[in-house]
Structure 1
Amino acid sequence: MRLLRSTDLALRVLMRLAVAGESHPTTREVAAAMDVPYTHTAKVVAELQHMGLLEARRGRGGGLAVTEAGRTASVGAVVRAFEGVGDVVECEGATPCPLRSGCRLRSALRQAQEAFFASLDPLTLEDVVAEPTGPLLLTLSPAPPHS
């Protein structure tokens, strides 16, 4: 299964913030450290804040921080929230699949998708930032400007 860019970014933002300690990087700093566009990061941060998984404070002493709910959130739940739980394949679109009335593939793919999510359900953010990942995340710094 291939994750949406926003899902991947959401997980990486949470992971980066989980190891930030007392520092509270800004959205711009997190985007630069991960070498991703600020606009994409800002959208993901807004959604994570709406979900209650991180706090974003403005002004001096502000920045981003993972909430307790974010630290203990299921990775599977985060992935579900960003991916949605719709069908893996489009069967009913502008050109409906001619097999849709008797197709077994659609339900098999739906079951596979749920198995994928279920395999991530027991994992929390704390689990995925354990060594060696956490220390590695701390070494991330903004990429040099492109010449």
Structure 2
Amino acid sequence: MRLLRSTDLALRLLMRLAATPDPNPTTRDVAAAMDVPYTHAAKVVAELQHMGLLTARRGRGGGLALTEKGRTASVGELVRTFEGEGDVVDCEGTATTAACPLSPACRLRGALRQAQEAFYASLDPLTIADLTTDPTGPLLLTISKRP
């Protein structure tokens, strides 16, 4: 299974905020340190803010801050939210492609859905705080791109 780039960025961004000693880095600072486009980071920040996992303030003294909910958020729930409710495979077809002829009696789709849920379930007990305990948190800060 492959994660969307936005899911990967959301996880790394939250981990970075949990590990950083810098109080309230800006979205631009975090995007530069993680070597990702600012526009992508801004979209992910907006979604994480909407979820209540971080706060973002503009202006002097502003920046990003991880909320308590962000520290204790389930990694599995975060991945589910960013990945969406879709199936691993698309069996329905579109305007240009036909639906799979096996759809009425297919066992693969159910097996893949079960495997996907097992993947998420294995991430459910993990929190962002769990992912940034030593030695990961300090190491995370050393591998950042330097301006």
Is the TM-score greater than 0.5? yes
2:31 alignment counterpart: 31
Answer yes or no: is 1:130 the counterpart of 2:139: no
Percent of pairs with identical residues: 76
**Which residue in the other structure is 2:86 paired with?**
86
In structure 2, distance between residues paired with 1:84 and 1:31: 24
8 Å CA contact 1:71–1:125 kept in 2: the answer is yes
Match of 1:115 in 2: 118
What residue is the counterpart of 2:73 in the other structure?
Answer: 73
Contact 1:29 1:142 in 2 (8 A): no
Q: State which of 96, 109, 115 in structure 1 corresponds to 2:99.
A: 96
Q: Which residue of 2 aligns with 1:2?
A: 2
Structural RMSD (CA): 1.2
For 1:11, the equivalent position in structure 2 comes to 11
Once residues 59 and 78 of structure 1 are traced to their aligned partners in structure 2, the CA distance between those partners, rounded to angstroms, is 28
- Alignment partner of 1:101: what SS? helix
> Helix, strand or coil: the match of 1:91?
coil
Using a 3 Å threshold, how does the CA distance of structure 1 residues 112 and 141 change in structure 2: closer, same or farther? closer
Q: Distance in 1 between matches of 2:29 and 2:140?
A: 13
Q: Which amino acid aligns with 2:32?
A: A
Matched residues, number: 144
Deviation string 1:83-131 (CA, Å, 9 cap, x unpaired) is 0122110010212001101100000000000000000000000000011
**What does residue 105 of structure 1 align with?**
108
